Amino acid sequence: MIVLLGVLVVILGFATRRNPLLVVGVAGIATGLLGKLSPVEILRTFGESFASSRSVTIFAITLPVIGLLERNGLQQQARTLIGKFGAKLTTGRFLTLYLLVRQVTAAVGLQTIAGPAQSVRPMIAPMAEAATERRTGGRPLPEKVREKVRSHAAGTDTVGLFFGEDCFLAIGSILLITGLVNSTYDTHLEPLHLALWAIPSAVCAFFIHGGRLLRLDRQLERELVTANAAMTVADEDGDGNESGAGVK
Amino acid sequence: MIKSEWFFWLVGAVFMLMALQMVTDRSNPKRLGTASFWGLLGACFFYSSWVTDKTLPAEPLGVAVLVLICLGGFNRTSKGVPRTTGEEQRTKLAARFGNKLFIPALTIPVVAMLCATLVSKWKIGGEPVLEDGSETILGLGIGAVAALGVGMWVLRERRVTVPLDAGRGLLEAMGWALLLPQLLAVLGAIFEAAGVGTQVGKVTEAILPEGQRLAAVALFCVGMAVFTVIMGNAFAAFPVMTAAVGWPVLIEQMNGNAAAILAIGMLAGFCGTLVTPMAANFNIVPAALLELKDRYGPIKAQAPTAGAMLVCNILLIYFFAF
């Protein structure tokens, strides 16, 4: 039971908002020691699992080209493009459309064609923001609203990926299930059956998250009204927010 | 054969090149700490290759990871003022290039798609062109390199230092958050080695109600989600919860449909992934990339969906798997 104290370190660390690197480092060493690993074994585990998890950092390879495109105006062009679609394409509707595309492409095995670095930051988030800015008449969004729109752009990408990818039979999680169950429990499961059973959840996820995104439009509307009221009282404060905080 | 290791080396080389630029960047108040962090991280990407094929010991890499934790954790890194264009210039450039700007950005998904569908089937002399099992990494890597080439051609940019500088700006803006996903994978491995999984399995078994189908299904799904929140990864939770509840109770004792229970159970775990800072690559890295003030913004946006989907998954198993 005592190894569960390591879990407690993580929870407390994240709850008190300590630097996550330190939380993870301390929790890792503490759990290892509590679980009776020797210091050398802990170091070895640190090294081996770092080496085998490099694929989660591979997205960094897209940063130079994304940076190059951004300094040449990709985000601005993304905004211009969304402007051409007219008022019908609200932030919520745009993100719902993206949710659908992300789910369908992930379901046919194309998980890496989009993601926070390659699509959300350079295109999806600026487009979602521009769709909201149409309601402020082009004025920069209040910080709270901008953060919310960007958070939802990131969230939509993740939800779409998670509840799309399992419908594809060669994805890691499906292969993990068949690999584990077929070797441990002396049975035979086909990846195809597992992938088919992921479809009902995928449909539910589209309606639940899509429904929330469509409601997001109304929430943003309300928040803009309150923010506008506050801004007319203290105009200078409101404009003090730099519109291009994401543009460096 | 194109190997995934090549792209890990490329990432390592890019980090080290950027570290060299950082050393001379006087606009960065902590240039030496920043340069050491990224330089060491780049070197680790190379050294790791020999650790995975077991020709060099893993312990020195463990020490290096601890050094990285200290550099990032004790605030030894910072960012410089990026040499780039301003908002007004960008608007002008956007007007000049127009939708051509999307061509390189869309090159990444198109190439990734071609790699996944076509190139993965190609063989040269009986050997697959793309290393088996790494098609997704390779698709992204090849896509990014191709996109850079297309981008420099479309934008008539000849200097390689320009994308390198621009990428470095993004890298410095994200800072140590970029390392967090890998560190959490490390923590998951430590948890596994120290037996945290077995303990959680025992606790779950102890609170398992007898013969109550809905309660057992709920315990399986909620257990998957909660354990995923702790470990940051549904893959780590799955073997534990399957051994504790899924297989012995739901499938053997209650005669449930194994494919349905396990597939939907995994998705219940994903509901946990949506709300945990431990899954940094999905939840914290996007916040850093989008330069959000609130590190937990994406989690807040995802949490209601995660809760509703957990209920959905419980009901799907309860109604359709028996």
Check whether residue B121 and residue B234 sit in a common domain.
no
Dmax over CA atoms of chain A, in Å, equals: 71
Which chain A residues are Cβ-neighbours of B234 within 8 angstroms?
A: 173
Check whether residue B8 and residue B73 sit in a common domain.
yes
Q: How many domains does chain B have?
A: 3
Check whether residue B120 and residue B164 sit in a common domain.
no
CA distance B6 to B46: 10
Check whether residue B244 and residue B315 sit in a common domain.
yes
Residues facing residue B317 across a β-bridge: none
Check whether residue B45 and residue B153 sit in a common domain.
no
CA nearest to A131, candidates A165, A72, A170, A91: A91
Interface of B with A in 288-317 (CB under 8 A): 289-294, 297-298, 300-302, 304-305, 308-309, 312-313, 316
CA distance A78 to A99: 18
User: What is the dihedral sign for C-alpha B19, B23, B25, B31?
Assistant: positive
What's the CA dihedral at B295, B296, B301, B307 to 10 degrees? 160
What's the CA dihedral at B175, B176, B178, B181 to 10 degrees? -160
CA nearest to B168, candidates B70, B287, B282, B80: B80
| Interface contacts (A, B; CB < 8 Å) | 436
Nearest by CB to residue A64, choosing from B163, B234, B287, is: B163
Which chain B residues are Cβ-neighbours of A188 within 8 angstroms?
A: none
Q: How many helices (H) and strands (E) does chain B have?
A: 14, 2
Give yes or no for a contact between A23 and A10, defined as CB atoms under 8 angstroms apart: yes
Nearest by CB to residue B297, choosing from A20, A73, A151, is: A151
Check whether residue B245 and residue B301 sit in a common domain.
yes
Q: How far is B263 from chain A (nearest CA, A)?
A: 5
Q: How many CA atoms does the CB half-sphere of B124 hold within 13 Å?
A: 6
Which of these three, B157, B183, B215, is where a domain ends?
A: B157
Neighbours of B95 (CB within 10 A): 12
Which of these three, B194, B217, B245, is where a domain ends?
A: B194
A158 and B167 within 8 Å at the Cβ level: the answer is no
Sequential pLDDT tens for chain B (322 residues): 888 899 999 999 999 999 999 999 899 999 999 999 999 999 999 999 999 999 999 999 999 999 999 999 998 998 888 878 888 899 999 999 999 988 998 888 888 888 877 888 888 888 888 887 777 778 889 999 999 999 999 999 999 999 999 999 989 988 888 888 888 878 878 887 888 877 877 888 788 777 788 999 999 999 999 989 988 888 778 888 888 888 888 998 889 999 999 999 999 999 999 999 888 889 999 999 999 999 899 999 999 999 999 999 999 999 999 8
Burial, A218: exposed, middle or buried (Cβ in 10 Å; 0-12, 13-18, 19+)? exposed
Residue with tokens 């076509």: B118
Q: What pLDDT was estimated at residue B320?
A: 93
SS3 content of chain B, % helix, strand, coil (to 5): 75, 0, 20
Phi, psi values for residue B2, rounded to 5°:
-85, 125
Check whether residue B179 and residue B215 sit in a common domain.
no
Give yes or no for a contact between B94 and B88, defined as CB atoms under 8 angstroms apart: no
Residue A94 contacts B, CB cutoff 8 Å: no
Residue with tokens 């702790």: B230
A151 and B301 within 8 Å at the Cβ level: the answer is yes
Residue A39 contacts B, CB cutoff 8 Å: no
Tell me the two tokens of residue A247.
């543009």
**Full residue range of the structural domain in which residue B272 is found:** 195-320
Check whether residue B183 and residue B237 sit in a common domain.
no
CA distance A79 to A76: 5
Check whether residue B218 and residue B316 sit in a common domain.
yes
Q: What pLDDT was estimated at residue A170?
A: 65
Sequential pLDDT tens for chain A (248 residues): 788 888 888 888 877 878 889 998 999 999 999 999 999 999 999 999 899 888 878 888 889 998 999 899 888 998 888 888 877 889 999 999 999 999 988 887 777 778 898 899 999 999 999 999 888 877 888 999 999 999 999 999 999 999 998 887 667 778 778 877 877 777 888 888 888 899 999 999 999 999 999 999 999 999 988 887 876 766 554 444 444 443 33
Give yes or no for a contact between A93 and A44, defined as CB atoms under 8 angstroms apart: no
Local structure of residue B250 (DSSP, 8 states): I
Chain-centroid distance of CA B91 in Å reads: 32
A173 and B292 within 8 Å at the Cβ level: the answer is no
Q: What pLDDT was estimated at residue B276?
A: 92
Tell me the two tokens of residue B71.
């550099």
CA nearest to A112, candidates B113, B101, B9, B142: B113
CA nearest to A102, candidates A175, A161, A16: A161
Q: What pLDDT was estimated at residue B243?
A: 82
Q: What pLDDT was estimated at residue B193?
A: 84
CA nearest to A60, candidates B15, B109, B295, B147: B15
CA distance A41 to B217: 38
CA distance B230 to B188: 9
pLDDT digits (tens, 9 = 90+) for A27-76: 999 999 999 999 999 999 999 989 988 887 888 888 999 899 989 988 89
Check whether residue B208 and residue B104 sit in a common domain.
no
Check whether residue B180 and residue B205 sit in a common domain.
no
Q: Which stretches of A134-239 are DSSP H helices?
A: 143-165, 172-184, 191-197, 199-233, 235-239
Check whether residue B216 and residue B307 sit in a common domain.
yes
Q: C-alpha angle B177/B182/B188, rounded to 5°?
A: 120
3-state SS class at B130: strand
